[in-house]
Amino acid sequence: MEKIICFGEVLLRLGPEGYYRFIQADKFVVNYTGAEANVAVALAQFGMKTEVVTKLPNNDIAKAAVATLKKFGAGTENIVYGGDRVGVYFVEKGASQRPSKVVYDRKYSSISFAKQNDFNWDKIFEDASAFIFTGITAALGENLPAILLDACKMARAKGVKVFCDLNYRKNLWTPERAQSVMQELVHYVDVLIGNEEDADKVLGVKAANTDVAKGELDKTSYIDVARKLTERYGCQMIATTLRTSISASDNNWAGMLYTNGKAYFSKEYKIHIVDRVGGGDSFASGLMYGLLNGFESQEALEFAVAASCLKHSIELDFNLVSVSEIEALVKGDGSGRVQR
């Protein structure tokens, strides 16, 4: 089986149990996570071979992070060690009208100081069939754009399929900086994932007439954006999740896949949320599973949307579901009847 390379930061996630706020907590739930690590774990649960590529310090917290990745089946052989710290992010789960809140403490992490020669992409991509990174990785530190460019070029040279989830984070960089970095990288991307805000902020492609905060979805504008992205950057496929936030407790969830000039829209799910962090990553991993296993476009999209629908029912960031569980939902059993 060929490997899928997932490159990005692995962070320590900390947050209160249940619906307590930070100020109330005298315990934090611990997880080791990150957008690309989430993809790696989800794909490993689907039976794929994955490798998390990152840089971590030489300390016991990093060791615990690596053990967690191993537990859930992700490969950790290509992790580079050095630097001072594991990035941290704090999450407080929202409910009803109160949004979830994320406090980042990822500045100065080991990967943010990574250097180009930390990663031997030639070796990393041996026996690899796919590569994924997100816009977050590109935003982490000064050298990351160059490191990613090295990786993308090597991937293309080796015939490795490149996936990118734009994942714009306003607290990591400005749209200007994002565009200056990402516009070059996206030329190497085969499958591009991102919502309208991402397309606008990261790639300067704007959709007309959609107000995300209102939760209204306008199919034509999505198609318009996707078409522009394929034309401008040459990506084969554009995928996006379509989230309607009714409240922090209830969301509607669907997706679109655009390829060869055609847009596919998935079934929409009404989700009662357990933990929505990692929802986008679970869509990306579901899509990768479908596309790497030769699913048709509609089929791959439905798999991705069902996979990420299930993610919202699971605590913490990882999408710990099996292919058969996803397929049961795709086939229409969302009734949640007990499986004995």
Residue 21, token pair as written in the block: 């706020």
Q: Which of 79, 80, 81, 94 binds a second copy (CB under 8 A)?
A: 94
132 and 39 Cβ atoms separated by less than 8 Å: yes
**Cβ atoms < 10 Å from Cβ of 80:** 16
In this complex, which beta carbon is closest to a second copy, that of residue 30 or of residue 80? 30
Q: Which of 129, 183, 221, 245 binds a second copy (CB under 8 A)?
A: 245
Q: Which of 143, 221, 293, 313 binds a second copy (CB under 8 A)?
A: 313
Range in contact with a second copy (rule: CB under 8 A) among 3-11, 154-162, 282-290, 309-317: 309-317
Range in contact with a second copy (rule: CB under 8 A) among 84-92, 227-235, 257-265, 283-291: 84-92
Q: What's the rounded Cα separation, in Å, for the pair 143 and 327? A: 41
In this complex, which beta carbon is closest to a second copy, that of residue 61 or of residue 149? 61
Q: Which of 79, 80, 149, 314 binds a second copy (CB under 8 A)?
A: 314
Which parts of 259-288 interact with a second copy (CB under 8 A)? 269-277
Smallest gap from residue 319 Cβ to a second copy (A): 10
Q: What's the rounded Cα separation, in Å, for the pair 28 and 284? A: 28
Smallest gap from residue 299 Cβ to a second copy (A): 18
Q: Which of 2, 47, 64, 234 binds a second copy (CB under 8 A)?
A: 64
Give the closest residue to 189 by CA, choosing from 229, 225, 241, 140.
Answer: 229
Dihedrals φ, ψ of 311, to 5°? -50, -40
Helix spans in 256-313 (H): 279-292, 297-311
Three-class SS of residue 315? coil
For 106-236, list the strands marked E by DSSP. 128-134, 161-165, 191-193
Give the closest residue to 330 by CA, choosing from 291, 289, 300, 292.
Answer: 300
In this complex, which beta carbon is closest to a second copy, that of residue 67 or of residue 157? 67
In this complex, which beta carbon is closest to a second copy, that of residue 99 or of residue 234? 99
Q: Which of 129, 179, 183, 247 binds a second copy (CB under 8 A)?
A: 247
In this complex, which beta carbon is closest to a second copy, that of residue 109 or of residue 230? 109
37 and 4 Cβ atoms separated by less than 8 Å: no
Residues composing the chain = 340
Q: Does 84 bind a second copy (CB under 8 A)?
A: yes
Q: What's the rounded Cα separation, in Å, for the pair 257 and 238? A: 6
Q: Which of 80, 149, 320, 323 binds a second copy (CB under 8 A)?
A: 320
Binding mask 124-163 for a second copy (x = CB under 8 A): ----------------------------------------
Q: Does 252 bind a second copy (CB under 8 A)?
A: no
Binding mask 3-42 for a second copy (x = CB under 8 A): -----------x--xxxxxxxxxxxxxxx-----------
Give the closest residue to 46 by CA, choosing from 330, 290, 278, 254.
Answer: 290
Range in contact with a second copy (rule: CB under 8 A) among 82-90, 127-135, 147-155, 258-266: 82-90
Q: Which of 120, 153, 174, 215 binds a second copy (CB under 8 A)?
A: 215
Q: What's the rounded Cα separation, in Å, for the pair 28 and 298? A: 40
Which residue is listed with tokens 């969302």? 334
Smallest gap from residue 260 Cβ to a second copy (A): 30
Q: Which residue type sits at 246? A: I
